[in-house]
Structure 1
Amino acid sequence: MDLTNFEPTRTLPGLLVDRSGREPDTVAMRYSREGVVQSITWRSYANRVRDLALGLAAHGVRRGDRVAVMSSARPEWVFAALAVQSVGGVVIGVYPTNSAAEIEQLLVHSEAVAFLGETATELTKVAAIAARTPSLRLVLGIDDAPPALPEPVTAMTWDALCDDGARHAGENPDRLSELVAAGSLDDAAVLFYTSGSTGAPKGVTHTHRTLQHAIQSFAGLYPDIADRRYDVVGFLPLAHVAPALVLVFTPLLTKLVVTYCRIEAYEDVLRSVRPTSALWPPRFYEKLAGELIARTKSWPWFRRRAYDAAMWVGRRVAERRWSHRRPSVPMRIAYAAALRTVFLPLRATAGLDRLRVAYTASAAMPESVLAIWQIWGLDLRENYGLTETAGCPVAHFGQPFPRPGFIGRVFPDPRFQVKVADDGELLISAPLLFTGYWRNPAETEAVLRDGWFHTGDLVERAPHGDIRLIGRKKDVIITLGGKTINPQPIETRLKESSLIDEAIVVGDARKYLTVLLEPSASTDAPSPDAVVERLRAEVARVNADLARVEQLKDFRVLPRPLDVERGERTANGKIKRTAVVNSFAALIEDMYGANDDAAIADHVRSKPS
């Protein structure tokens, strides 16, 4: 793939048809089930997509229809996406953790005609709201049969639909090719719904063209990926834009081979596959680093001393890299020995010894976490992308072992451009940009102006040209797991209670959300403990309607009202979130307890004993 002059020529299903013709017996993907890894060839991949696509067409799914898929990361998600696109439809990912209310909201907003659910859990949720989704006509169960559904919704199993499709394929072997040939590069291919808001959802529309330019930018992270096989473990939810791009669509244009597995099993599968490519939210790097550090503490005395010496060398090599100074020859020799005898064996216990370059995105990466992996020899780099870009217009392309705190430079294709507005907002113009928010022209026009996408992120450019994120224009929270959450709808729900005057949700760069509550002055309770219990019930009430990632894991009662003079409110009474977080930092820390990032930071700074 020529990264600087790439131009799509075929739709995504068209790429599948071509690939299955050129490399029918090459491994296209793998999956781990009950500890056993099995392979799927390009021929088998295309045949499964064909049967499902023709089955969908036989049951009324037409060009332009929206089809929702609610499943863990597995080959069936991929087959469904390509089958829907083969008939000219638009696939919508639904998070397995979404509540019934959120599923209803998404299906109604998108006017989805079909829903594919993995197990009885997902199918029961959609059955509960099916009567209130007027466009829904077909519900498929991948592993389990759907429960009873109201008329006129048809309930079927995945296997039964594929059997129908196989019969149609036998009657007309060219039918799939005919359907695929009717597609256009500028047809909508996927709606990625922005996560975390319980208000009106926004469906980010990407076409076959924009997604392939997004793949182009991802391929820039691994420039030889079109010619050399890379292995990646796929466990993150495919409803999210980055996993969908990397794990579903990138293999169509590259030699990336995905091994799918359930998220509960990903650590075992990492050790089995030993991936050579990774793009994860910061939380996964932090979690694995914490586990590896803990492992070193149980090593025998001699091995522990060797690790301390290796860390001493590794820190100094990392510092020289960050200041663009070349380590001395003796230092390079010592580091090569530390890497071979200490760091790679340590990483091998997590299955990461073959991984040379890895990436993180979707949330702020603690600098200490990035530093420890670089010390251990993993060239871990931050990059920048949003649902609206799908790919990474800004990253450390060809910049090994970058200094923590920067997201890199613009992708090296003249069609990709960035600029910084007068107020510091990052603006992007590139062929990977989404085409608009689904049936929401007002929101689209607010962020796409004169060919530039207004990201809402505030940045600054360093003298050496790299870009640093410094904040956001809007009050949104990005958790350590990479979920973008609008706190205001959650706070509004809490303040519906007569017991609560003010609620401030926190959780930016944290594992989960918590909330600070200011009780109503009129709250009538016999004791402070009774107030706390009533507030706990109100938090539980709101949590019941939230997705797992949005749920409030703990709360604290503010010891005093928020104050204008302390800068916690504006003159007209609005909350100043940053000031509140600073004022009650100790109260917030109490809700999170031990912090992996702090432990890793101490480890990075500590001296050998």
Structure 2
Amino acid sequence: MSTLTHKGVTGRSIAEMYKLAAERYGELPAFAKRLKSCVFQPVSYSDLYDYGLFLGTALIELGVKARDHVALLSDNRVEWNIADYGILLAGAADVPRGTDVTNQEIEYILNHADTEVVFVENKRLLERVIALMPKLEKVRQLVSMDSQCPPIEGVLNLKGLIEKGRELREKGDRQIEERMNAIDPEDLFTLIYTSGTTGTPKGVMLSHANMISQVESLPFSIEPNDRLLSILPVWHSYERIFQMIAISSGCCTYFTSLRSLADDLKTVKPTMMASAPRLWENLYLRILKNIRESHWIRRGLFHTAYFCSRMVKGSVFFLQGKKIDLKGRNLFESAGLGCFHALRAILFLAPYIALNAVVLEKLRQIVGGSFKGTVSGGGALQPHVDEFFNYIGIPVQEGYGLTETSPVIAVRTTQKLVIGTVGPLYKDTEVRILDLNTGDILYPNPSNQNEGRGLKGEIHVRGPQVMKGYYKSPDATEKVLRDGWFNTGDIGIFTNNDCLKIVGRSKDTIVLLNGENIEPIPIESKICESPLVDQCMVVGQDQKQLGALVVPSIEVFQAESVAELSDRADIRDQIAADIRRLVSRENGFKAFENIQEIALLPKAFEIGDELTNTFKIKRHVVEKRYFSVILGLYP
């Protein structure tokens, strides 16, 4: 991905951007849905915009007012984008969620967001929403997005609404143009609900201006002939901004799934995609498995090719300033290392060129052969996986952000491909690194060496992408957003390469490798209901699954100290079984919230050490102290 200024269409609002994209790109394909293996059906920019106009016109006729909130319960599909167009062109804001939404979330979100109209993907989810209608205070109209769904009394159909809007426009209805022209950049674009520290979802308010800033500041180029593969949930802010960038750029987005991904990579031959770490870890393991099971000659060729690639690219990265620099190398050190890396690159260049063409090029075909790159987000990319793909020539960049920042704060580019970091800051974004204990500014601070580069602290950001706040939650907003500065809750370092490195979290949310956000406190509270458990802390940041550090009850097990219980496998098994009983689907927990492994600790958490004065766990202290124990949960 070359580092170029984005040249796609934008506008004062996303609605205006949609209009300009239709005018510029016309009959070019905007989205393509998978009909069957190797067969995709595209919808053009012109048709997509027309469908949006028709639907938006029908929504206005239905009583949807400017700045209303319209719910959109659906996974990735072309109909999602049509509904999105219609809602936004009508001057309303959407409230998106996937089909895995729980009944409790449906009830809370639709009531809290003041939604009156709800789009629902399929019959199964529609039946769940209908059953909840007595509890949905303001919902007055459901819309089925599935054309195959049998008619249900009182439920409208997406296709029928589009036809209704077409008829209204043929009769001269032009209210939607007035709505579009009246959209202010600060108007709400979307209301995305994300879990809070108590487990109650918080509505993140993102404006049109927030999203336009993300599109306009794209640090690499995407062209109309590019092909994007969509696999992440479209209601997540990361996948969504990627799709809006695609619309702005005039390229086509193809919808895929984990089941069909391998086939679709070969069929679509994507040039780019938004991705999550889990995808690359799985692909990495699959490649290594195939290599282990191959003939010894092929194994030897691969290992030789990869070694040569590491030598050459590792040295080239250093010479280009792409090796992470936390302490600040002096001129003498840089000169010496520069000579070493120049010689090493020259020494291995010839075998690398030969083996790259013979061996590594075949590996690159696994992503279709036309891949320019991907941005991995939603969790940390494991360093060995990061290095592997970049060294074999599959450019996996890493980005960083949150729903509250629309989402991108920083992202690596070809010019700033510093492995181990999430790259330089997005355009017009400011960052502060604050001391975790005192709150003092560590970076940028002229009184510190290198202005504080290399110092670890809490990341605070300010920029055009920062949210308006949490909907109807001023106290929660005040806790994280002051004077335009948003407290990310993450711990990081600003490097001497002017890149951001994420090293941990200061707030409680755990993000699994697949991007699932989990609040540990409700899980910990449930675990501590067990009489066998005195204290516990849930772990799993950037891992596949959750684990728990447990302090067993010395009273129940009649022990003199916790230490004498920590090595007892029978006690560990007994506690693990009780945790499985408590943290279960029957008790309202999702599958990814289950505790898969536990470790018994040799001492209890104490105030002033692992606990605050109010008995809250100092997670970063526990994680540092029991780092090796936590690693042992993930062999």
1:122-137 map, 5 Å:
122-137=125-140
Q: From 512, 521, 526, give the equivalent of 2:545.
A: 512
1:347 aligns with 2:360: no
- Distance change >3 Å, CA 125–CA 587, structure 1 → 2: farther
| Counterpart for residue 187 of structure 1 | 187
Unaligned runs of 5+ in 1: 594-609
Q: Secondary structure at the match of 1:347?
A: helix
> Are positions 1:30 and 2:63 aligned together?
no
Give 1:285 deviation, angstroms.
1.0
Partner of 1:475: 508
Alignment of 1:51-70 (within 5 A): 51-70=54-73
SS in 2 for 1:104: helix
Tell me which residue corresponds to 2:594: 552
Deviation digits for residues 430-464 of structure 1 (CA, Å, limit 9, x no counterpart): 22222221122222233222232222222222233
Structure 1 residue 399, shift from structure 2 partner: 2.1
Q: What is residue 412 of structure 2 aligned with on the other side?
A: 396
Q: 1:127, 1:147 within 8 Å by CA — same for their partners in 2?
A: no
Q: Against the structure 1 CA distance between its residues 578 and 461, is the aligned structure 2 distance closer, same or farther, given a 3 Å change threshold?
A: closer
After TM superposition, give the deviation of residue 245 of structure 1 in Å.
Answer: 0.8
Alpha-carbon distance in structure 1 between the residues aligned to 2:466 and 2:215: 12
Q: Following TM superposition, by how much is the alpha carbon of 1:589 offset from its aligned partner in structure 2, in angstroms? A: 5.7
CA distance in 2, matches of 1:587, 1:393: 32
* Aligned CA distance change for structure 1 residues 576 and 282 (closer, same or farther; 3 Å): same
Do the aligned residues in 1 keep the contact of 2:458 with 2:489 (CA within 8 Å)? yes
CA–CA distance in 2 between the matches of 1:38 and 1:5?
27
Structure 2 distance, partners of 1:501, 1:263, is 40
1:562 matched to 2:604: yes
CA 168–495 in structure 1, closer or farther in 2 if over 3 Å, else same: farther
1:486 aligns with 2:503: no
Q: Counterparts of 1:565 and 1:428 in 2: how far apart (Å)?
A: 31
CA deviations over 1:552-576 (Å, ceiling 9, x no partner): 1425473766243995555765434
User: Match of 1:83, as an amino acid?
Assistant: G
Q: How does 1:279-294 map to 2 (within 5 A)?
A: 279-294=274-289
Give yes or no for contact 1:139–1:146 (8 Å, CA) kept in 2: no
1:52-201 residue pairs with structure 2 within 5 A?
Answer: 52-143=55-146, 145=149, 154-172=154-172, 174-195=174-195, 199-201=199-201
Q: Name the counterpart of 1:419.
A: 432
Residues 22-65 of structure 1 deviation map (CA, whole Å, 9 limit, x = unaligned): 33211112121222211111121112212322232222222121
Q: Secondary structure at the match of 1:409?
A: coil
AA aligned to 1:57 is I
* Counterpart position of 1:301: 296
User: Aligned equivalents of 2:351 and 2:609: distance in 1?
Assistant: 52
Change (3 A) 1:317 1:156: same
The alpha carbon displacement at 1:313 in A equals 0.5
3-state secondary structure, aligned to 1:189: strand
DSSP-derived class of the 1:250 partner: helix
Cα distance in 1 for residues equivalent to 2:375 and 2:538: 29
Q: Please, which moves more after superposition, 481-490 or 296-305?
A: 296-305
Q: 2 CA distance for matches of 1:586 and 1:401?
A: 30
Which letter maps to 1:512? Q
**TM-aligned CA deviation for residue 581 of structure 1:** 5.0
The one of 391, 395, 404 equivalent to 1:375 is 391
After superposition, what is the alpha-carbon deviation per residue over 1:357-410, rounded to whole angstroms, capped at 9, x for unaligned?
3222221211101010011112322222221222433222442542x2212222
The answer to whether structure 1 residue 539 and structure 2 residue 613 are counterparts is no
Give the counterpart letter for 1:384 in structure 2. Answer: Y
Contact 1:273 1:351 in 2 (8 A): no
The superposition leaves residues 266-318 of structure 1 with CA deviations (integer Å, 9 ceiling, x where unpaired) of: 23212211211123121111111111121222333333322122112012123
Q: How far, CA to CA, are the matches of 2:9 and 2:368 in structure 1? A: 34
- Name the aligned partner's letter for residue 583 of structure 2: V
Q: Is the 8 A contact 1:270 1:351 kept in 2?
A: yes
SS of structure 1 residue aligned to 2:367? coil
What is the CA-CA distance between 1:531 and the residue it aligns to? 6.4
| Percent identity (aligned) | 25
2:354 maps to what in 1? 337
* Worse-superposed segment, 294-303 or 41-50: 294-303
Aligned to 1:604: none
Q: Which moved more, 1:74-83 or 1:464-473?
A: 464-473
TM-score, normalised via structure 1 length: 0.86
- C-alpha separation between the residues in 2 aligned to 1:6 and 1:438? 31
The alignment covers a number of residue pairs equal to 577
Going from structure 1 to structure 2, the CA distance change for 1:523 and 1:170 (only over 3 Å counts) comes to farther
Distance 1:442 1:567, change over 3 A: closer
Aligned to 2:21: 19
Q: Is the 8 Å Cα contact of residues 505 and 620 (structure 2) preserved in structure 1? A: no
Secondary structure of 1:21's aligned partner: helix
- Within the candidate set 11, 33, 47, 1:9 is matched to 11
How far off is 1:20 after superposition?
A: 2.0
Distance verdict in 2 for CA 1:338–1:138, change over 3 Å: farther
CA contact (8 A) 2:25 2:250 kept: no
Tell me which residue corresponds to 2:329: none
Maintained 8 Å contact 2:421/2:502:
yes
The correspondence for 2:232, drawn from 226, 231, 236, is: 236
- In 2: Cα distance, 1:228 partner to 1:5 partner: 11
- Distance change (3 Å), C-alpha of 1:466 and 1:157: same
SS state at 2:398 partner? strand
Amino acid at match of 2:32: R
Q: Is contact 1:315–1:375 with CA below 8 Å preserved after alignment? A: yes
Q: Report if aligned partners of 1:358, 1:381 keep a CA contact under 8 Å in 2.
A: yes
